A = this chain, B = another copy of it.
Amino acid sequence: MHRTHTCGELRIEDKEKQITLSGWVQRIRDKGGLIWIDLRDRYGITQLLLEEGRTDAATIKMVRELGREFVIKANGTVIERVSKNPNIPTGEIEIDLKSVEILNSSKTPPFTIEDNTDGGDELRMKYRYLDLRRQPLRRNLELRNRLSIETRKYLDSEKFFEIETPYLIKSTPEGARDFVVPSRMNEGQFYALPQSPQTFKQLLMVAGYDRYYQLVKCFRDEDLRADRQPEFTQIDCEMAFVEQDDILNTFEGMVRYLFKTVKGVDIPELPRMEYADAMKFYGSDKPDIRFGMKFVELNDVTKNKGFKIFDEAELVVGINADGCANYSRKQLDKLVDFVRKPQIGAKGLVYVKYNEDGSFKSSVDKFYSQDDLKEWADKLGSKPGDLMLVLSGETNKVRKQLSELRLEMGNRLELRDPDVFASLWVVDFPLLEWDEDSERYHAMHHPFTSPKPEDIEMLDSKPGEVRANAYDLVINGTEIGGGSIRIHDRDLQKLMFKHLGFSEEEAQEQFGFLLNAFEFGAPPHGGIALGFDRLVALFGGSDSIRDFIAFPKNNSGRDVMIDSPSKIATEQLDELKLMVKK
């Protein structure tokens, strides 16, 4: 037997018990006459004690040869510690060591196994199995496990069935790029890995399963940005005989349940914000509403005062930064630099200080009088001591720029506390969005999203204004999930495909099975998919999903630990009837 207890288990009540522990040597302190070992496993740390004269000499000798991360089995007696450690649950006891057995030795790890390690990113990825020994990562994976269990518990209690959908499916050109899998038994043909189980969950609704969910891996062969993974996990859900409110209520219930059971936090009912308002007041379809600083449009008070930039702008829009009138020249310059960064792309930034004495100082004093600026202040709700920041330009662009500036100011003013959670639904998304490259409309969510019935008539005349029964769940400025009420009518689905530029043949070839299924009694249905990696990261108070995945890939899609992807044997290629082009 390797152990009678774990390293997190023993308490003062266990005093005088003969026990066996197994684990890793975290630390050895050798004070000559006394030696202490911190023995670690998943459950905690227990201190082992050796004393010259009392502990067997051979054991002392053996212990002196141990290194960090050796795996040992320790026998001894639970005794009360002289100097207790109140910071750990086992801190009142230690083990009077009788004997020790080395279960495995260890080379010195390439970085320290501590909360704050000295290892760089690449090194820790290569030795991921050592990085995973560190407490912060262990806590992340523990949190992930707990969240998945509670997610399933909630959905099970709501009568959802978890149903596994296939991983070897069919490639479709719509959406992101598929990973494909050559079929050996069907020469020259390929499976694709699912970007999501979208069509299958809709078929399950057609099949009458009523409430489906799945925690499922999805795959997208996209050029990776920081913190995107080629494989990621989704909480995928679908319900039949529902309207939008039924879905929002069910999943609002889930989110609140998870916050309550996993974080112990009661979150209030989720506000619902129309997409148009989110864009107007936050310049973003995923507003961070932990703080205000809402956009105020200033066209009517800024135009026709001789300032050409504003006069020519489609939109002049500002935010008010509480208590920032005392920003120095240097601080203001930094803000100007920020909005001018290529990824933000503003040409400049107008600022107005509302001084404590009631006067204004702005970067456009040449064009605007004190009275003019007072008008701005009234609109923006500024008070003495505040700073007004104003951008102008083409509506969509300037909104995006001001959104970035707003988040930057939120960071500077420490209004984005990761321990505070502000969730909302963004609803009434546009059905279609214009794609500059292909010069046609694309589905904003996916081609199965239903338009609002009252907007269908605009599909031909004003396609960009058609709203969808689509919604996103946003927490702390991050899109955690999104979904829609689906089309369940074959004719409407065909119409949508037409508007998305599919020929009838293409639609039939790619989605024929779904169109066919719609002929046999498809119920009204809708659903949602939540990004599980991101949800866990959010619960863990982090932006980096990679720290919440056991074995992530790096930004080139490589697993540097196992060195994958890699070349495969010529025989494998031959069997697949494939050739790699030089």
Contact = CB atoms under 8 A, between A and B. Distances in A.
A521 B132 CA distance: 13
Contacts of A69: 520-521
A556 B186 contact: yes
A517 to B, nearest CB: 5
A549 B164 contact: yes
Contact of A180 (B187, B524, B576): B576
Given A166-B551, A200-B551, A580 B577 contact: yes
Contact of A572 (B170, B180, B242, B576): B180
Given A182-B180, A550-B163, A567-B190, A203 B521 contact: no
A196 B512 CA distance: 33
A141 interface: yes
A132 B230 contact: no
A287 B552 CA distance: 42
Contacts of A193: 167, 181
A145 interface: yes
Interface in A534-555: 549-551, 553
Nearest to A184: B221
Contacts of A41: 208, 210, 241
A181 B184 contact: no
A568 interface: yes
Nearest to A160: B145
B551 A129 contact: no
A133 interface: yes
A165 B241 CA distance: 35
Contacts of A567: 188-190
B521 A42 contact: no
Interface stretch (A48-56, A171-179, A376-384, A434-442): A171-179
Residue from A130, A178, A513 with most neighbouring chain B CB atoms (10 Å): A513
A1 interface: yes
Interface in A124-167: 127-130, 132-133, 138, 141-142, 144-145, 148-149, 152, 156, 161-167
A375 interface: no
A520 B111 CA distance: 12
A15 interface: no
A275 interface: no
A105 B71 contact: no
Residue from A152, A178, A580 with most neighbouring chain B CB atoms (10 Å): A580
A489 interface: yes
Interface stretch (A340-348, A449-457, A557-565): A557-565
A202 B567 CA distance: 24
A135 to B, nearest CB: 10
B133 A207 contact: yes
Identify the 4 closest CB pairs spanning chains A and B, nearest first.
Answer: A106-B521, A132-B207, A170-B564, A189-B565
23 contacts: A24-B208, A105-B521, A109-B520, A127-B520, A141-B161, A141-B163, A145-B161, A149-B156, A149-B162, A152-B152, A164-B233, A165-B551, A168-B231, A168-B565, A169-B559, A178-B572, A180-B182, A181-B193, A185-B557, A192-B564, A577-B581, A578-B578, A579-B579
